[in-house]
Amino acid sequence: MELLTPLHWKDYELLDCGNFEKLERFGKYILRRPEPQAIWNKRWTEEEWKMHTNASFSQKGAHSGEWRKSNMPDNWFMHYNHGGMKLRFKLALTAFKHVGIFPEQAANWDFIYNSIKALPVEQPRVLNLFAYTGGASLAAKAAGADVVHVDSVRQVVGWAKENMELSSLDNIRWTVEDALKFVKREAKRGKFYHGILLDPPAYGIGAKGERWKLEESLNDMLTDLSSLLHPEHNFFLLNVYSLGLSALVAENLANIHFPKAKNLHTGELYLKSTSGVNLPLGVFARFHSH
């Protein structure tokens, strides 16, 4: 088991976290958001939090809330530059407390980019499921892959396309569809991919109202995905952010569905705060054939 954190951010910083909140810098703006994993006390004082905050999110229901902001625009931009990746993202304050990027995923972007570069294939085919605003898709495209990006929310796919254009990339293939249906159809067609990426939510609703519940649906999806992965030249990434799920769950799923996988690594993603606290942000299982 590994503990993994991104090492190359300049436009992002976790400043402090605790008392079920986190204080983060995205570019030049500092946001205050709920964080259910931060059950400890904050290191910084309330006065220090207030002094630094440009926008704060208040939960109003189970899945939504509202922002209070000052001195910041509706949209702003940030960069992630490492190796051959020069990625640019548009950010916005959404009603679901998200801003369009999950900074801990940069550790996975590095893995995706390096895995593609190491494959002895001219243009590897990569499938990104539950692809959101496209950070993993951009990393794969920057490495030279032929990328299929699947998400069930049309507006989010449009946002991902903007990020592609901001990053001076092109020709990502966009699919607005329920991920489980898409995978089953690809399996029936006998398609294959050199790389498969998935970062599923705990709960979700598909493009036509399909219901996704992680604990009930993920095992079924992986059964089909095991037939889509190229048997010789491949890499795979499963990332899960769901309270209570262990990295052992991800490890068991990978071992059962991909018994011939080489170089399997599992563990937790986390962000290290400026105040010295480590914030856990999901578990992963990933492997590559080279």
Domain span(s) for CATH 2.60.40.1180 in the chain: 2-75
Q: What is the pLDDT of residues 17-71, one digit of tens each?
A: 999 999 999 999 999 999 999 999 999 999 999 999 999 999 887 678 999 998 8
In angstroms, the CA 80 to CA 89 distance is 8
Per CATH, which fold does 101-288 belong to?
Rossmann fold (3.40.50)
In angstroms, the CA 117 to CA 108 distance is 14
Which residue ranges in the chain fall short of pLDDT 50?
none
pLDDT on residue 59: 87
In angstroms, the CA 127 to CA 155 distance is 20
Q: What is the pLDDT of residues 182-212, one digit of tens each?
A: 999 999 999 999 999 999 988 777 767 777 7
Distances from the Cα of 175 to the Cαs of 108, 193, 235, 247, 276, in angstroms?
22, 16, 21, 29, 41
CATH class of segment(s) 2-75 = mainly beta
pLDDT on residue 207: 67
pLDDT on residue 214: 87
**Helix or strand run (H / E) with residue 12:** strand 12-18
Distances from the Cα of 55 to the Cαs of 67, 72, 163, in angstroms?
6, 8, 23
pLDDT on residue 64: 81
Domain span(s) for CATH 3.40.50.150 in the chain: 101-288
Question: Which residues, 6 or more positions from 63, have their beta carbon under 8 angstroms from its beta carbon?
Answer: 96
Q: For residue 270, list its beta bridge partners.
A: 280
Token couple for 274? 């400026």
Token couple for 67? 């922002």
**Which amino acid appears at position 252 of this protein?**
N
